[in-house]
Every structure is written in structure tokens, then in C-alpha cells.
Amino acid sequence: MKASTEKYFEAVGRRKCSVARVRIWPTTGTKSSVVVNEKDIKEYWNTADSRQKVMDLVNRTELKDKIKVSIKVNGGGMSSQVDAAVLGIARALTKLDAEMRKPLKKEGHLSRDPRVKERRKFGLKKARKAPQWSKR
């Protein structure tokens, strides 16, 4: 999507190393569109589960045919990018319509998942895996 002069609602979603910048435009069209990194959602996320997570959130609202969504996502893997996009969309929807906050909060879409990969410690093979112990 090209930058336009229309008013949009922007929010940021994060998960692990992924960051998603989401913009939502209210439209008068008949069909909503979701664009990820200037590609159609079907081109960017190949798996149906990934697309379904994002589209469920968009379709669950009463604004499903009245919004246009643009997502710029980078960092992390595909799964964490999807989770970051969902959080960003939920935050942008609350800016668009404040009454949506309560149902989105109840479904858990407005809370950031804080789990990240633990760092590796010296003397260990991984974060917690130690070398095999030898008695002699």
C-alpha cells in the first residue's frame, strides 16, 4: 500500500525478536484487505494456520468489511511474526474503536507474550544443558 493522506490508526506489536507495525484504514469498500510487507497475506504467510490467526482477529470484529490493514513486520521467525502482527492489529483496533478493548482483552489479544530465548551460559552447552558428568 502506498502512503495516503487518509487518516489511519497505527500500533506496534512485538513477540520474541519480531516487530510488527500495523496500520488500519477505515474504508467504505465492500471487502477488507490485509497486506504484509507489501505482499498479499497469502503470499507472505504460506501456512493456513498463520493466515487464519490474523484473519480471525480481523473477521471477528463488526468492522471486518470496513477496514484495510497494512502490516510491516521484520525480525524473528514466521510464527513470532504472526503473533506480533496479531498484537499490533488488536492494539490498532482499540485505537479505532475503544469499545473493542474489553472483548479483545478477554480473548487475550492485548497482552504481550514475554517469553524469549534464554541466553547461553559459559561452561554449559546451551542455556541449561550441562556437559555429561564424569565421576573419574
pLDDT one-digit tens code per residue, 19-28: 999 999 988 7
Q: List the CATH number of the domain containing 98.
A: 3.30.230.10
Residue 91 lies in a domain: yes
Residue 96 lies in a domain: yes
Classify residue 100 by its DSSP letter: G
Contact in structure between 20 and 72 (CB atoms under 8 Å) = yes
Strands across the sheet with 39-40, in order? 9-15, 18-26, 67-74, 33-36, 39-40
Residue 21 lies in a domain: yes
Residue 72 lies in a domain: yes
Give me the domain span that covers residue 76: 9-107
Find cell 484473519 and name the residue.
55
Q: What domain count does the chain have?
A: 1
Inform me whether the pLDDT recorded for 75 exceeds 80.
yes
Residues 101-136: pLDDT tens digits? Answer: 999 999 999 999 999 999 999 999 999 999 999 998
Residue 25 lies in a domain: yes
Inform me whether the pLDDT recorded for 88 exceeds 90.
yes
Residue 23 lies in a domain: yes
Residue 36 lies in a domain: yes
